[in-house]
Amino acid sequence: MGNFGVIAYMEPNRILDQNFPYTKSSDIYSFGVLMWEIFSGYAPFKDCDNKVALAFEINNGVREVTIPDTPIEYEGLYKNCWNQAPEQRPTTNKVLDEFEKMGFGINTRNKSIKNNENLDPDSQSNNESSAEYTQSSDQCS
């Protein structure tokens, strides 16, 4: 069985080792890439046609180039999220705290999310998720 997912959003450890478990830090890595995409307006590595080469580059620490005029706090957060080492990535609560510091406060309705209230206990696990993944068909030429 091969890797599942879109290479540009896949954490480097999973690219290197298909048995590396998907964890919360895997999601944080992907979220960091998504943060970059939201600010840039482009899909990550949109001009890369060779997905094998891209996987190699990402595994060796290559990340997208910072977009000019990105707020420094926002840039710092997404760069922390896509840290090569999973244990160095921020937690979900740390990400929320950083968004609050940037002025993206959470309203009272969403405070229950930050406090992990009303969430399915299975969603709090660091174990491999039960979500179904489909194998990426975007093979490079």
> What pLDDT is attached to residue 22?
87
In this structure, is residue 127 part of a structural domain?
A: no
| pTM to 2 decimal places | 0.73
Q: Is residue 50 part of a domain?
A: yes
- Is 54 domain-assigned? yes
Q: Are 13 and 20 in contact (CB under 8 A)?
A: yes
- Residue 55 domain boundaries: 7-118
Position 27 in a domain: yes
Read off the CATH number of the domain in which 66 is found. 1.10.510.10
Q: pLDDT tens-digit profile of 57-66?
A: 998 999 999 9
pLDDT band at 107 (very low <50, low <70, confident <90, very high): low
Q: Is 141 inside any structural domain? A: no
Determine the pLDDT at residue 64.
94
The total of structural domains in the chain comes to: 1
Give a yes or no: residue 64 inside a domain.
yes
Domain contains 125: no
Give tens-digit pLDDT for 45-93.
999 889 889 999 998 999 999 999 999 999 999 999 999 999 999 999 9
Q: Report yes or no on 94 lying in a domain.
A: yes
